[in-house]
C-alpha cells in the first residue's frame, strides 16, 4: 500500500459516512435498462425482463486472508473484487448486471486509498457492462474488508449448474491453470527479499513474469468463452469457475452431478511462464495447476457429440471425460497410472 | 461471547470450508417459489414473477464497530444481521424473499459459535418467510465480519423511495424511538460494572428494562406496518427505515425529495422505559430519540388527505409535516421555538 502523506490526503472522518459514500459512488452512472434505481435509497430496484431469471453470488475478501496490501495495488484489488463475482455469474451461463459493494476500512486508509479501490471497481464495471447499485461503507477496527454481491441475468431455464454432468461427457477448461498461484509465489518471494534487503528503494524483478503477475493481480472473467459457446451453439451440461483449484472444482462437479471423472495430466493447459516459475521455485508444476486456484477459468462439461465444435474453439481444451460415479475422480498421469483427485484447494481456514 | 470449552467444541479447521458451509446451511430449506436454486453453486437462481421488481440491499456488520460479542448473544447477532436487511426491503414497500450471508471468522470462534449465529439467522428467515440462498465463509485474521445481502420483491412500480415527499405531506413514524440506543447504554454500563467488579459470576441488573434491551439486541422489522398500510389503502409518498436516527433520516428524505420539514418534539413517540433510562443516565431524552438510531421503525410521508386513515392505525404517529425546501428541516420544541435538525446520527467513522 502506498504510504500516507498526511499533508495531501484526506482522512475518512473528515468526510463522514454519507459524504464518503457520495464521493465514492458519484462516478457510477447506471447503464443497464434493468437497473431502475441505484445507490442512495434503502434498496436498489432491479426490473428484470419477463423471460429472465436472476442470478446472485457474493464474495467476501478480507485483508490478511485474501489479499496483502503490501503488494496488491488497491486499484487492482478493486478490479479483482468485482471480476471474481462476474466470473461466478458467467459460470452459470449468465451475464453480470449489477453489483453492491460493502467496504469496511480502518483509519490506516485515507479517502484517496478508497478512491483507488473504487476506481478499480469502476474499471471492471465498465469493462463488463455492470452497474454499481448499492453497498455499505463502514469503519473497521481491524483490516480492510470488501464484500461484493453480484446480480446477473440468464434466459429463463438456460442457467448451467454444477449438477448436470453425464457419463461420457467431455470435460473442458478455458485458458490455462496455475499461473495466478505462481504469480502469488513470485509476489511473496519479492516481498520477502525486499523486507530482508532493508532498502526502501528496492525494486522487485518481474521481467519476463508479467503474465503470471497479471493473472494474480488483475484476473479477467471469461465473458469471451461464454459468448463463443453461445455462438457455437454449445450449452454445457455443467459448469463452474476455477477459483479454488481444478481438483477442488472437479470434485464439486462430480459430487453435484453424482459422476466420476478422468482427467489427463498431459492435457492440463499450463502457460510457459507458469512452468518457468515452478522450475525456479522448485515446485511441482502439476500440483500448482491442479490446486493453485484463483484462475477464474471456466470448467465445464459438454456432450460427446459436441466434440467437433469444441475442437474449433481456440481458448478451450478438452482435458478428460465424465465416468460413472463408482470410478471416482482421478488424474491419469503421463505414464498411464491413476491418482485420485483430492481437494487440496486453497483453504483459508488452514492459515 | 460464551467461553470456549475445547473438550466439547469443534475447531473450524476440523471441518474445512466446504464442510463448514454444508453444516451451517443444511437447515435452510427453500420456501419461496421464486427461489429456484439456493446454496451450493456458483450463484443462486431467482425467478421473479413477471409483474415484480427486485429490491436489493446490503449491510456489513463488523465486530468492535457494530457489535461487541462481550454482551451480544451470538444468536441475537445473527437474528439482527438478517432483520436489519429485511427492514430496508419493507422500507421500500417490498417483501424480503432471499438473503445471502457471508461470514469471516477468526480462530477464537468455534463451529458451535457459528451454529448459534446461523440459528439466529434461521429464526429470522422463518419469522419473515425469507430463504437463505448463498454466501461465503472465510477465515478472518481479525474480528468477526458478517455481510448480509437481501433481495426482495415489490409489485412493479409500487416501490416507495425516499424522493417522493411533497409539500404539506404528513410525516409519520411507527412504534417508538430511542429505545435501542438506551438499551445499548445499559449494556455498556453493566459491562463496565461487571469488569470493575472483577467477579466472573456478576449478574447484570436488567429488571424492568427488558423492552429497551430487546430493542437493542433483537430488533424486529415492521412487516406489520407495511401490511396495515396496504390494508388501509395508504401508499406513502416517501419512506425509509430509521437506522441512523430520526434526524439523519429526516434529512435524507428532505434532500432526496427536495423539501423541508417541521417535526414536533412533543409528538415524538418514546417508550416509558426509554425515558426512565435516560433519566437514570442523566441523558437528554429527545436527543436520544432523535439521534440514537437502530430503531428499525418506518419513517414515511403520506398526502394530507390520508390523515383520517393514518389516525386509525394504532402503531403509527404523525409527528410533523413537509414544507417547501427553503424552510429547511427543523424540530419545533415544546415552547414553540425551532431548532434546525442536524444529522448527529451514529457515525461509525467517529469511533
Chain segment A284-299, per-residue pLDDT in tens: 999 999 999 999 999 9
Partner residue opposite A53 with nearest CB, options B36, B239, B240 = B36
Average pLDDT over residues A101-130: 93
Across chain A, mean pLDDT equals 91
Residue B266: pLDDT band (50, 70, 90) is very high
Out of A53, A100, A141, name the one closest to residue B143 (CB). Answer: A141
Give the model's confidence band at B347: pLDDT under 50 very low, under 70 low, under 90 confident, else very high. Answer: very low
* pLDDT confidence bin for A350, thresholds 50/70/90: very low
The pLDDT tens digits of the residues spanning B43-58 come to 999 998 888 999 999 9
> How big, in percent rounded to 5, are the helix, strand and coil portions of chain B?
35, 25, 40
CB atoms within 10 A of CB A35: 20
Asked if B102 lies within 8 A of A36 by C-beta distance, the reply is no
Q: Considering only CB atoms, which chain B residues are within 8 Å of A48?
A: 48, 54
The predicted complex's ipTM stands at: 0.90
CB B1, CB B113: distance < 8 Å:
yes
Nearest chain B Cα distance for residue A41, angstroms: 6
Has residue B6 got a pLDDT over 80?
A: no
Predicted confidence band at B7 (pLDDT cuts at 50, 70, 90)?
low
Whole-number pLDDT of residue B134? 92
Given a cut of 90, whether residue B70 has pLDDT beyond it is: no
Å from A156 to nearest chain B CA?
8
Q: Are strands A131-139 and A95-105 parallel, antiparallel or unpaired?
A: parallel
Confidence tier at A199 by pLDDT (50, 70, 90): confident
State percent of chain A over pLDDT 90: 71
Q: How far A79 CA sits from the closest chain B CA (Å)?
A: 19
One-letter-per-residue 3-state SS of A154-170? EECCCCCCCCCCCCCCE
Q: How many Å apart are CA A254 and CA A164, to the nearest integer?
A: 10
> Contact A47/B98, CB-based, under 8 Å?
no
| Chain B residues within an 8 Å CB radius of A139 | 62, 65, 348-349, 351
Confidence check: pLDDT of A279 > 80: yes
Rounded CA-CA distance A55/B313 in Å is 39
Q: What b/e string do you get for B10-35 counting C-beta neighbours within 10 Å, with b at 16 or more?
A: bebbebbbbebbebbbeebebebebb
C-alpha dist (Å) from residue A197 to A188, A193, B1: 14, 6, 44
Which pLDDT belongs to residue A351? Answer: 36
- Bigger pLDDT: B291 vs B27: B291
Q: Read off the pLDDT of residues B134-145 as tens digits, 9 standing for 90 and up.
A: 988 888 887 899
Query: In whole angstroms, how far apart are CA A155 and each of A51, A53, A65?
Result: 6, 6, 36
The predicted-structure confidence for B226-248, as pLDDT tens digits, reads as follows 999 999 999 999 999 999 999 99
A49 confidence band (pLDDT: 50, 70, 90): confident
pLDDT tens digit sequence for B28-42: 889 998 999 988 899
For residue A5, pLDDT beyond 70: no
Confidence tier at A347 by pLDDT (50, 70, 90): very low
**Is pLDDT of B1 > 70?**
no
Contact B44 A62 (CB under 8 A): no
The pLDDT score that the predictor gives to residue B346 is 43
Would the pLDDT of A345 be above 80?
no
Round the average pLDDT of chain B to a whole number and report it.
91
> Considering just the CA atoms, what is the radius of gyration of chain B in Å?
21
| pLDDT average, residue stretch B260-279 | 97
Contacts 24+ apart (CB under 8 A), B204-210: B208/B273, B208/B276, B209/B183, B209/B273, B209/B276, B209/B277, B210/B273
pLDDT digits (tens, 9 = 90+) for A159-170: 999 999 999 999
Contact check, Cβ <8 Å, A161/B56: no
Q: Which residue in chain A is spatially nearest to B253 when comparing CA positions?
A: A41
> Which of A186 and A14 is assigned the larger pLDDT?
A186
The predicted pLDDT at position B350 comes to 43
Interface contact B57-A133, CB threshold 8 A: no
> Nearest chain A Cα to B143, which residue?
A142
- pLDDT of residue A181 exceeding 60: yes
When comparing pLDDT for B151 and B16, which is higher? B151
Tell me what pLDDT residue A349 has.
45
Within 8 A by CB and 6+ apart from A291, the residues are A181, A245, A246, A247, A248, A344, A345, A346
Q: Do B145 and A43 touch (CB under 8 A)?
A: no
Instruction: Pick the closest to residue B162 from B86, B252, B94 (CA basis).
Output: B252
Q: Which of B58, B63, B64 sits opposite A149 (nearest CB)?
A: B58
Please, are residues A173 and A246 in contact by the beta-carbon 8 Å criterion? yes
Interacting residues of B175 by C-beta distance below 8 A, sequence separation 6+ = B222, B269, B295, B297, B315
**Distance between B287 CA and the closest CA of chain A, angstroms:** 20
Q: How far is A111 from chain B (nearest CA, A)?
A: 12
What pLDDT is recorded for position A1? Answer: 56
Contact B55 A36 (CB under 8 A): no
Higher pLDDT, B181 or B1: B181
Amino acid at each position: 500500500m502506498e504510504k500516507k502523506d498526511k499533508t495531501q490526503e484526506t482522512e475518512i472522518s473528515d468526510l463522514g459516512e454519507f459524504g464518503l459514500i457520495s464521493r465514492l459512488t458519484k462516478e457510477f452512472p447506471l447503464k443497464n435498462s434493468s437497473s431502475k434505481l441505484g445507490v442512495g435509497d434503502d434498496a436498489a430496484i432491479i426490473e428484470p425482463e419477463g423471460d429472465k431469471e436472476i442470478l446472485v453470488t457474493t464474495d467476501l475478501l478480507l485483508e490478511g486472508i485474501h489479499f496483502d496490501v503490501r503488494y496488491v495495488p488497491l486499484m487492482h484489488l478493486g478490479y479483482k473484487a468485482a471480476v471474481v463475482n462476474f466470473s461466478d455469474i458467467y459460470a452459470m451461463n449468465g451475464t453480470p448486471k449489477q453489483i453492491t459493494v460493502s467496504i469496511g476500512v480502518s483509519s490506516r486508509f485515507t479517502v484517496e486509498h478508497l478512491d483507488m479501490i473504487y476506481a478499480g471497481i469502476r474499471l471492471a464495471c465498465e469493462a463488463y457492462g455492470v452497474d454499481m447499485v448499492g453497498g455499505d461503507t463502514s469503519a473497521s477496527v481491524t483490516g480492510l474488508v470488501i464484500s461484493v454481491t453480484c446480480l446477473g441475468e440468464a434466459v429463463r431455464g438456460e442457467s448451467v449448474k454444477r449438477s448436470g454432468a453425464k457419463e461420457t461427457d467431455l470435460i473442458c477448461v478455458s485458458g490455462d491453470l496455475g499461473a495466478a498461484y505462481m504469480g502469488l509465489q513470485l509476489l511473496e518471494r519479492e516481498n520477502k527479499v525486499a523486507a530482508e534487503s532493508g532498502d526502501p528503494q528496492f525494486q522487485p524483478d518481474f521481467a519476463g513474469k508479467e503474465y503470471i503477475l497479471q493473472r494474480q493481480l488483475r484476473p479477467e472473467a471469461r465473458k469471451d468463452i461464454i459468448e463463443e459457446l453461445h455462438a457455437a451453439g454449445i450449452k454445457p451440461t455443467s459448469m463452474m469457475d476455477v477459483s479454488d483449484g481444478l481438483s477442488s472444482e472437479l470434485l464439486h462437479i462430480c459430487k453435484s452431478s453424482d459422476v466420476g471423472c478422468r482427467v489427463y495430466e498431459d492435457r492440463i493447459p499450463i502457460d510457459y511462464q507458469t512452468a518457468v516459475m515452478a522450475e525456479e521455485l522448485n515446485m511441482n508444476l502439476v500440483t500448482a495447476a491442479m490446486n493453485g486456484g484463483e484462475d477464474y477459468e471456466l470448467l465445464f462439461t459438454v456432450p460427446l457429440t459436441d466434440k467437433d465444435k469444441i475442437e474449433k474453439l481456440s481458448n478451450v481444451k478438452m482435458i478428460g471425460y465424465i465416468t460413472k460415479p463408482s470410478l471416482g475422480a482421478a488424474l491419469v498421469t503421463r505414464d498411464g497410472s491413476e491418482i485420485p483427485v483430492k481437494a487440496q484447494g486453497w483453504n483459508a481456514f488452514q492459515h
